[in-house]
Structure 1
């Protein structure tokens, strides 16, 4: 039975935002850990580690996120491992974020002037101390803007989790649209909600990028 779009439907969509934000937070946190390891592996002196990290990046950057969600959710089921859509979405998005953040942060590490690394070698610092005390603090300043920019893309990417049945913002909109048959109103609200979440982050990323550019010109 078709029902009108009312306050209950409105709040059902709005409350689904919490699952979009939670999935984004989990994927970003996991991706940050994985991305840091990938970035450090990409600039490692070990050739095997560098190529393994490069292969991981190429795999996840060269395949659609939707396919990655399918492979995690349905692939594990083929081998007899039942998996919850929430876990599948978080795992797939974490791998996706690890690949992209790893490459972003690799570029930021390599943006640190070569002289800084050479000076740390001259002081006899170990690889760990060199990264912790010299390279990473400087790279982190460069990394803020592109990292926030990727977070915006990750939040929007969580909408694809609806395809495996995870009820986040987009899936909530689909459910309400199936009950009300008012797609313009329903998905207009969904789009507006994404905009409200992502627009401030986009502005912040742009300001940080401009601030870093101004500092670099001095």
Structure 2
């Protein structure tokens, strides 16, 4: 039975924001750890590590996120694990974020002037010391803006998890719309909430990027 869209529906949609943010945080933190490993592997002296990390990136950048969600969701059943939408979504988005952050940070590492690496090598620093004390601190400054930009995309990407039944912001909108059949109002509200979450981050990313450009042109 169709009912009228009301305050309880607005509250239900707003409460679902916490699940969108929770999933985004889990995926971003997990992706940051995985991305750092991928970036270091892609920048290492080992040919094997470079090839393995390149294959990983090609797989997760070359396949749709929606397909990855399906594979991880139904893959849990193959491994005799309980089908948990939150777990499947978190794992899929973590691997997705690892591939993209790994490539972003690899580019940041390679953007550090070669003279810095040559100077560290001339001081007989080990690979770990070169990365930890010389390269990574400079690469982090370069990679901040694109990393924040990717976080915005990751937050919006969580909307795809509604397809496997995870009740985040988009799924909450679908549930309310099925009960009220008022898609313009319901999904208009959902769009506004996404905008309020993502727009400040997008603005911050642009400011960081502009600041970095000014720093490199001095």
Shorter-chain TM-score tier: over 0.9
The offset of 1:78, in angstroms, is 3.1
Q: Distance in 2 between matches of 1:43 and 1:74?
A: 34
Deviation >4 Å, runs of 4+: none
C-alpha RMSD of the superposition: 0.6
Shift of 1:18: 0.4
Contact 2:76/2:88 (<8 A) preserved: no
Q: CA deviation at 1:80?
A: 2.7
Q: Which runs of 5+ in 2 are unaligned?
A: none
> How far, CA to CA, are the matches of 1:24 and 1:82 in structure 2?
22
Counterpart residue number, 2:125: 125
Pairs aligned (count): 218
Aligned-residue offset at 1:81: 2.4
Asked if 1:54 is matched to 2:62, the reply is: no
2:202 maps to what in 1? 202
Offset at residue 82 of structure 1 (A): 2.2
Q: State the distance in 2 between where 1:207 and 1:214 align.
A: 11
C-alpha distance in structure 2 between counterparts of 1:147 and 1:189, whole Å: 27
| TM-score normalised over the length of structure 1 | 0.99
If the length of structure 2 is used for normalisation, what is the TM-score? 0.99
| Aligned pairs (5 A) from 1:94-173 | 94-173=94-173
| Alpha-carbon separation, structure 1, partners of 2:19 and 2:43 | 35
2:28 paired with 1:28:
yes
Partners of 1:65 and 1:43 lie apart in 2 by 25
* Distance in 2 of aligned mates of 1:7 and 1:159: 23
Structure 2 residue 64 is the aligned partner of structure 1 residue 64: yes
SS of 1:80's equivalent in the other structure is: coil
Q: CA deviation at 1:3?
A: 1.0
Q: Following TM superposition, by how much is the alpha carbon of 1:138 offset from its aligned partner in structure 2, in angstroms?
A: 0.3
Identify the range of structure 1 (7-16 vs 69-78) with the bigger mean alpha-carbon deviation: 69-78
Which segments of 5 or more consecutive residues in structure 1 lack a partner in the other structure? none
What is the alpha-carbon distance in structure 2 between the residues aligned to residue 215 and residue 48 of structure 1?
36
